[in-house]
C-alpha cells in the first residue's frame, strides 16, 4: 500500500515545482463557492518557422519543425487523452482526426467541438496507413500503445508524442507537454493549477483525520455474469481513495496489472466502512439499488449503515484517469469525511470544472451536463 505521507510528499513536491496556488488558510472552510474565471483563451498565433523539441512521457525528444497544425489522436482509452487535449482552446482547430471518444452512450468531444463533424473518425484498430492518409504533422498516443500502434506510425516518418494521463503526477507532466504542443504554456499552467489547488485543499482537510476502511469495486455484467473487481494499487482509483483520506482494504490482496475479480466472500471478509460501486456501462444508481435489495449485500455492514454508494458519473464515470477524476476525488473526500467538507456543493464544483477547463457556461451545463448525472449525486 502506498504510504499516505509519501503520497502527500510527492504531490507537495510537484505542486511547488509547478508553482501551484497555495491552499486556503486553515480557518477557511473547505470548498467555499468557486469564483467565476474567464474562459480559456488561445495562445497568440506562432511564427510558422519556429521549431521546437518536446520531451514526451517516454522520455523521447521529439523534434518538430513548427507547432503542429494537423494533429491526430488515436489508440485505446482515447477519450481520456482527448478530454485532456480539449482543455486547450486550440484543440478543436488543430485536430483533424481521432478515434472513438465515446464510452457507452457518451461522447463529450462531439458535444463540445462544433467542428467534430468535419473530422475523420478512425476505428479503434486503425492502422498506420489509415493514420498516414490524413497527412498529420503529429500523432498523440498513450504510451501503452507505443509498441503496437506508435512504432508503425513512426516508421512512416510521422512524429508521435506519447502521454499517459494516469496519475496526478502524470497530469502535471502531460499537461505541460500539451502546453508545448499547442504553444500555450500559460493555459497548461492554469489547468495544472486547477488540479493542484483542489488536491491541496483535500490533502490539507483530511491530513489529521481518521482513515476509514474503504472498498472501491468495479461492477461488470457485460458477459452476462456479474463480477466485482478491485484496481491495482498504482491506479488512480486507489490513489483517489488514499488522497481522499481513506484506507483501501484491498491493499494486501494479490492484484494483477488490471482490474482483479473478487468474490462476495472476500468482500464480506474485508468488512469495509464504505463501499463505492463503479459502473461504466450501466447506470451505477441502478446497480446499487439492486445490490441494496440483495440479501447477501444487505448483510454487509457498509450496506446496513447506509455507506454503500454509487460512484458518480456524467457522460463518463468520475473514477477514471479522465479529466473528471478531480470531481470524483472531491466527491469521495466529501463522502469519507463529510465533517471536513461542510460547504461542499458537488454540483457547484462540477459547474466550476466545466467552466474553467472547457469554457462552458452555466446554460450549457444545465442543458447538456446536469441531465447526464448518475450515481449518488444531489
Extract the C-alpha cell encoding 307. Answer: 455507506
39-84 pLDDT tens trace? 677 766 554 456 899 999 999 999 999 999 999 999 888 899 999 9
Claim to verify: residue 174 and residue 289 sit in the same structural domain: no
167 and 213, same domain (yes or no): no
Q: In this predicted model, what pLDDT tens digit does every residue of 215-239 receive, in sequence order?
A: 999 999 987 889 999 999 999 999 9
In this structure, the answer to whether residues 236 and 154 fall within a common structural domain is: no
Q: Which of 183, 215, 234 marks a domain boundary?
A: 183
Domain count, the chain: 2
- Which distant-in-sequence residues (6+ apart) come within 8 Å of 250 by Cβ? 215, 230, 262, 270
- Residues 363, 220 share a domain: yes
Residues 124, 227 within the same domain: no
Domain for residue 202, yes or no? no
In a domain, 34, yes or no: no
Residues 215 and 361 in one domain: yes
**Residue pair 74/141 in contact by the 8 Å Cβ criterion:** yes
Residue 278: exposure state from Cβ atoms within 10 A (0-12, 13-18, ≥19):
buried
Assigned domain for 23 exists: no
Mean pLDDT of 100-119: 87
DSSP 66: S
Q: Residue 5's pLDDT is what?
A: 41
pLDDT for residue 103: 76
Range of the domain at 122: 52-183
Q: How far apart are CA 99 and CA 73, in angstroms?
A: 6
Q: Do 139 and 238 have their domain in common?
A: no
Distance between CA atoms of residues 243 and 203, nearest Å: 6
Q: Is the domain of 128 the same as that of 256?
A: no
pLDDT confidence tier of residue 37, bands split at 50, 70 and 90:
low
pLDDT digits (tens, 9 = 90+) for 88-109: 999 999 999 998 877 766 899 9
Percent residues over pLDDT 70 in the chain: 87
Are the beta carbons of 277 and 219 closer than 8 angstroms? yes
Same domain membership, residue 215 and residue 163: no
Q: What pTM did the predictor assign?
A: 0.87
User: What DSSP string describes 180-240?
Assistant: HHTT-HHHHHHHHHHHHHHHHHHHHHHTTS---EEEEEEEE-TTSS-EEEE--TTSHHHHH
Give the tens place of pLDDT for each residue, 150-177: 999 999 999 999 999 999 999 999 999 9
How is residue 287 written as a grid cell?
A: 446497480
Domain annotation covers residue 37: no
Digit-coded pLDDT (tens) for 237-289: 999 999 999 999 999 988 989 999 999 999 999 999 999 999 998 999 999 99
Residues 6 or more apart whose CB falls under 8 angstroms from that of 108 comprise 79, 83, 86, 101, 315, 316
On whether residue 33 sits in a domain, the answer given is no
11: left (phi over 0), alpha (psi -120 to 50) or beta: alpha
Query: Does one domain contain both 129 and 239?
Result: no
Asked, for residue 16, whether it belongs to a domain, the answer is: no
Residue corresponding to grid cell 467542428: 115
- CATH code of the domain containing 299: 3.40.50.1980
**H/E run at residue 286:** helix 284-292
Distance (Å, rounded) from C-alpha 74 to C-alpha 63?
Answer: 20
- The reply to whether 138 and 215 lie within a common domain is no
Q: How far apart are CA 72 and CA 78, in angstroms?
A: 11
- Note whether 270 and 150 are same-domain residues: no
Nearest to 199 by CA among 371, 13, 3: 13
For the chain, give the percent of residues with pLDDT over 90: 78
Amino acid at each position: 500500500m502506498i504510504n499516505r505521507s509519501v503520497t502527500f510528499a510527492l504531490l507537495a513536491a510537484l505542486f511547488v515545482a509547478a508553482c501551484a496556488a497555495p491552499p486556503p488558510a486553515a480557518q477557511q472552510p473547505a470548498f467555499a463557492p468557486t469564483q467565476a474565471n474567464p474562459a480559456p483563451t488561445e495562445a497568440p498565433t506562432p511564427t510558422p518557422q519556429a521549431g521546437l523539441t518536446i520531451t514526451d512521457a517516454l522520455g523521447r525528444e521529439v523534434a518538430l519543425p513548427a507547432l503542429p497544425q494537423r494533429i491526430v489522436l488515436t489508440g485505446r482509452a482515447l477519450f481520456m487523452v482527448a478530454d485532456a487535449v480539449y482543455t486547450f482552446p486550440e484543440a478543436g482547430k488543430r485536430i483533424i482526426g481521432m478515434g472513438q471518444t465515446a464510452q457507452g452512450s457518451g461522447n463529450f468531444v462531439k458535444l463540445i467541438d462544433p467542428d467534430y463533424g468535419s473530422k475523420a473518425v478512425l476505428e479503434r484498430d486503425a492502422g498506420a496507413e489509415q493514420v498516414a492518409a490524413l497527412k498529420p504533422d503529429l500523432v498523440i498516443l498513450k504510451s501503452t500503445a507505443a509498441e503496437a500502434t506508435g512504432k508503425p506510425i513512426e516508421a512512416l516518418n510521422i512524429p508521435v508524442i506519447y502521454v499517459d494521463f494516469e496519475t496526478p503526477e502524470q497530469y502535471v507532466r502531460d499537461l505541460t507537454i500539451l502546453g508545448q504542443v499547442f504553444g500555450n504554456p500559460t493555459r497548461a499552467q492554469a489547468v495544472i493549477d486547477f488540479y493542484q489547488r483542489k488536491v491541496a485543499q483535500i490533502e490539507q482537510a483530511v491530513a489529521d483525520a481518521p482513515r476509514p476502511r474503504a472498498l472501491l469495486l468495479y461492477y461488470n455484467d457485460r458477459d452476462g455474469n456479474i463480477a466485482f473487481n478491485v484496481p491495482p494499487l498504482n491506479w488512480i482509483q486507489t490513489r483517489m481513495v488514499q488522497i481522499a483520506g481513506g484506507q483501501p482494504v484491498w491493499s494486501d490482496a494479490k492484484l494483477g496489472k488490471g482490474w482483479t475479480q473478487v468474490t462476495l466472500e472476500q468482500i464480506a471478509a474485508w468488512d469495509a466502512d464504505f463501499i463505492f460501486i463503479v459502473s461504466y456501462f450501466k447506470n451505477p444508481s441502478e446497480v446499487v439499488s439492486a445490490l441494496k435489495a440483495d440479501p447477501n449485500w444487505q448483510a454487509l455492514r457498509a450496506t446496513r449503515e447506509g455507506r454503500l454508494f454509487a460512484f458518480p458519473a456524467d457522460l463518463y464515470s468520475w473514477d477514471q484517469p479522465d479529466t473528471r477524476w478531480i470531481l470524483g476525488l472531491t466527491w469521495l473526500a466529501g463522502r469519507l469525511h463529510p465533517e471536513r467538507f461542510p460547504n461542499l456543493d458537488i454540483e457547484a464544483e462540477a459547474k466550476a470544472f466545466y467552466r474553467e477547463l472547457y469554457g462552458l457556461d452555466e446554460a450549457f451545463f444545465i442543458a447538456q451536463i446536469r441531465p447526464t448525472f448518475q450515481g449518488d449525486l444531489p
